[in-house]
Each structure stands twice: as C-alpha cells, then as structure tokens.
C-alpha cells in the first residue's frame, strides 16, 4: 500500500468518481469542467459554468509555517491557491475573463485569529486585482466565513467560480485525436507576473509532501494531522520548514518551496486562446492525479505518450528522496513540474511556445497522441517506461 493511501487520501479519487458516476455529465462529457445550458440567459448560443475547488491541506503547511515564524504573508498564498485551482480548471474549457468568485473559509477560531482571516481576504482581492491588470477580469462577490471548530482543526480555504460563456468559444476536448502534439507549460520558475521563484508544487499532493519532507518534530502539532494515522506515516522526513535549499543562486527555505503559491497560467492562456483558439484541440490541468489526469478526458482509441517532460524541479526530488516513492507513484500524485497541457498541431505548437517565452514560462512539446486500444498513457524517462 502506498504512503498516499495509508494517509487516507487518493490521487485518483476513486470513491468520489464512484459516488458521482450516475450524475449528468453536462453538454460536453469530455470537457474539463461540467458545462450546462444557459439557464441564466436562456440563450442556446451560451452556456453556464460553476466550479468549486480549494487549497486543500496546503493550509496546514501555512499554519505550521505561520506558527513557527509569525509570517502572515503565507496566508495570501493560500488565498491564491484556492482561486487558481478554480481559475485554471476553467481555463481548460476556454474561459479566461468575466468570472465571478465567491470565497468559503471554515476556521477553528481558537487557532485561527482575525489577523489570519484578514490576510486571506486581502490576499484574495490583491490576486484578483493583479489578474485584472492582465485582462483576466474576476469579480469578488464575497462568500462565507464560518467558525466551525467542531469540524475543522485549523482552517479550510475554498472557493466557487462561475461564468456565462459563448458556446462557440469553448474548448471541449472532443477534438483531441491521434496526430496531436502536447505542449506543456512549466509550473516552476518565475513568470513575469510572479514576485519570486515558484517551486511548481501547486496545490495537489500536499498531504504526502508535508509528511514526507518534514521531521517528526512537527508531530507535536497534533492539530495538524489525523490522529488515526499510524506513526510510521506521520512526519517521516528530515527537514524543518526553515531549512534552506539552494535553487540556482538562491537560498530558499523548505517551507517557502512547499508553500509556493499555485501559478496561474491565465495571463498566458488569455493570449493563447485569443490568438490560436482554432488550433487548440484540448486542454488539461494536471492537478489531482498529476501526469495521469489526462486519461480521464481522453476518447477511446488513443495512447498518450509523454517522452519529453521537463526535468522535475528540486521540490519533487526532495519529496521523493524523503518518501522513497517510485517514479510511477510520483507522476501519479504530483504535476512534476508540468501543470498545463495544450493539445494542438505542430504549426500552432511553435507559436504557443514562443508566447510562453514572452511570459518567461518554460514551454515545450512534451509528447503526442497516438492511436491505441482503449486509452492509455506512457511516460518515458531516462530510458525507463511507465505505463498507466
């Protein structure tokens, strides 16, 4: 049994998918988000979309770092995580502006004081203002902040995003087919709209990352983990949050690497969708499920081959070295440095890569779509082949 499973989480969300399998899949079943007819406007040329997601257990890392250092700024990153996990999912169906956002914060008041709430709420508005400056318009419509100490140990930060969008401007993944190439956008580095180095970790797999990297000393924060877990999976790493790691010419704390705010690709994707929409056959946000996420949205009769992925950034080497996880599990849990996939043709791929460079986001052809039986994924790395 994998460490991820022993900690009570699932990269593939099998039970969630089983619980929802009988629900209506919307107008376009392979689209990355559920798309509904236009109930708000009653126009057959338009659709409605509403999406919910959040920062997940990354908020526990923020809690630990804040308790250890007193640094409130990490909570603004958690606010960004909750927004981006919604925004970048909606990017995958072609929506990049005229969005509505509502925040949901559940806290244990005895542990999460008003100054943390203030940092979360102000961080939300600051990030939305930043996106507006890049032409990605998102209105903040408030939300719910609840004191539910009997339910949560520290704090849960989530959000809901909605849009009314023209049907002809949707990306539904129905055009993905053998012959497509896949352009990957790197999740790490420093984009022109970021203020510092981003480790690329995003907001998925943080339960494993936290327990695998941090030392047993953090078990003293009993509110930070499930007391039913076996001791051999609780904080089994060797690092403190304030240990420094060399990244290029910088010294960056382990805590800051783990808490790097999830990069949004919205400013870049806005340009790609506006300039190359007809060349976009599909879009996948490699979030929960990591590099295997694409399989959920593929048609039958294809084999996805990824044989030119980015070299995984340092944070994933730290996690793998601490956990002893094999490559198959790592690529199934984490994005491994590539969090957005663009299914396109070779002609459009070159232009997309150049646009990425203009935002200082690494982009390259990471693989292709081939004909196959059923649907499968092959990842090739340093002469080894991983099959899903």
pLDDT in tens, 366-382: 999 999 999 999 999 99
Determine the pLDDT at residue 55.
Answer: 98
Sheet strands (E) in 55-172:
99-107, 138-147, 155-166
pLDDT in tens, 131-180: 999 999 999 999 999 999 999 999 999 999 999 999 999 999 999 999 99
| High-pLDDT (> 70) share of the chain, % | 97
| Average pLDDT over the chain, rounded to an integer | 95
Give the number of other Cβ atoms within 10 Å of residue 248's Cβ. 10
- For 329, residues 6+ apart whose C-beta sits below 8 A from its C-beta are 2, 4
At residue 4, does pLDDT exceed 70?
Answer: no
Q: Would you give the distance in Å from CA 142 to the centre of its chain?
A: 23
Determine the pLDDT at residue 10.
Answer: 60
Determine the pLDDT at residue 20.
Answer: 75
In DSSP terms, which residues pair with 379 in a beta bridge? 306, 386
Q: What is the mean pLDDT of residues 317-330?
A: 95
Determine the pLDDT at residue 18.
Answer: 76
Q: What is the mean pLDDT of residues 293-313?
A: 97
At residue 11, does pLDDT exceed 70?
Answer: no
Sheet strands (E) in the chain:
36-37, 46-54, 99-107, 138-147, 155-166, 181-186, 244-247, 250-253, 282-285, 302-306, 338-344, 363-371, 375-381, 384-387
pLDDT in tens, 200-255: 999 999 999 999 999 999 999 999 999 999 999 999 999 999 999 999 899 999 99
At residue 310, does pLDDT exceed 80?
Answer: yes
pLDDT in tens, 52-81: 999 999 999 999 999 999 999 999 999 999
Give the number of other Cβ atoms within 10 Å of residue 293's Cβ. 22
Q: Determine the topology of domain 3-196+259-387 in CATH.
A: 60s Ribosomal Protein L30; Chain: A; (3.30.1330)
């Amino acid at each position: 049994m994998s460490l991820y499973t022993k900690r009570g989480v699932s990269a593939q969300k099998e039970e969630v998918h089983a619980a929802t399998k009988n629900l209506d899949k919307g107008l376009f079943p392979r689209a990355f988000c559920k798309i509904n007819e236009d109930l708000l406007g009653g126009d057959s040329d338009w659709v409605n979309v509403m999406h919910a997601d959040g920062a997940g257990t990354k908020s526990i890392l923020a809690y630990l770092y804040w308790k250890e250092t007193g640094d409130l700024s990490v909570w603004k990153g958690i606010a960004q995580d909750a927004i981006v996990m919604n925004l970048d999912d909606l990017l995958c169906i072609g929506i990049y502006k005229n969005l509505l956002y509502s925040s949901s914060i559940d806290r244990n008041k005895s542990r999460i004081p008003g100054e943390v709430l203030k940092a979360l709420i102000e961080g939300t508005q600051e990030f939305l203002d930043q996106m507006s400056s890049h032409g990605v318009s998102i209105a903040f419509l408030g939300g719910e902040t609840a004191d539910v100490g009997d339910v949560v140990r520290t704090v849960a930060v989530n959000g809901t995003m909605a849009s009314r969008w023209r049907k002809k401007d949707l990306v539904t993944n129905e055009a993905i087919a053998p012959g497509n190439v896949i352009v990957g956008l790197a999740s790490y580095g420093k984009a022109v709209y970021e203020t510092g180095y981003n480790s690329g970790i995003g907001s998925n797999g943080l339960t494993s990352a936290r327990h695998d990297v941090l030392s047993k000393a953090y078990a003293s924060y009993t509110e930070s983990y499930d007391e039913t877990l076996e001791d051999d999976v609780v904080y089994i790493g060797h690092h403190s949050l304030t240990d420094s790691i060399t990244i290029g010419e910088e010294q960056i704390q382990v805590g800051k690497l783990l808490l790097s705010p999830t990069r949004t690709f919205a400013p870049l994707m806005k340009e790609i969708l506006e300039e190359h929409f007809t060349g976009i056959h599909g879009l996948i946000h490699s979030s929960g499920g990591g590099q295997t996420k694409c399989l959920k949205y593929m048609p039958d009769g294809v084999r996805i081959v990824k044989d030119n992925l980015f070299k995984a950034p340092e944070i994933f080497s730290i996690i793998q070295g601490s956990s002893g996880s094999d490559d198959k599990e790592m690529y199934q849990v984490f994005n491994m440095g590539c969090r957005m996939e663009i299914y396109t043709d070779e002609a459009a791929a070159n232009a997309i890569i150049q646009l990425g460079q203009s935002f200082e986001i690494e982009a390259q052809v990471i693989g292709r779509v081939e004909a196959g039986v059923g649907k499968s994924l092959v990842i090739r790395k340093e002469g080894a082949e991983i099959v899903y």
